Amino acid sequence: MPSFEIEAIINGIPQKVTVKTEETTDGVPYYVCSIAGEQVSEIRNDIDDTWLQLWGNLDKQSVKSIGEEIEKVHH
C-alpha cells in the first residue's frame, strides 16, 4: 500500500507524519505512523470509531489527532 503524509498534533506540536496503510491477516486496516523516517506508532480505528494505538508510546490526544487526519484523507 502507498504511504501518504498528514500534519497532526503530536505531544502538542504540529508535525508531519508519514502514514502507511497495512492490513492484519484478517483484512482489518491499520496505520504505521512515522516522523522523520522513524516509526512512532501503529494505530487503527476500532469498531466504535475510537482510534487505538496498537504499538508506540504516543498519548491519547496525539493518537486521536493522527486518526482525525487519516479520516480526512480516506473519506
**What pLDDT was estimated at residue 15?**
98
**Residue 65: band (very low, low, confident or very high) from pLDDT cuts 50, 70, 90:** very high
pTM as predicted: 0.93
Beta strands in 1-75 (DSSP E): 3-10, 13-23, 29-35, 38-45, 51-56
Q: What is the pLDDT of residues 36-49, one digit of tens each?
A: 999 999 999 998 99
pLDDT at residue 1 above 90?
no
Domain parsing of the chain, residue ranges: 3-74
Kindly state the average pLDDT of the residues 51-70: 98
* Apex 8 CA angle, 20 and 51, nearest 5: 65
Taking the C-alpha atoms of residue 30 and residue 47, their distance in angstroms, rounded to an integer, is: 12
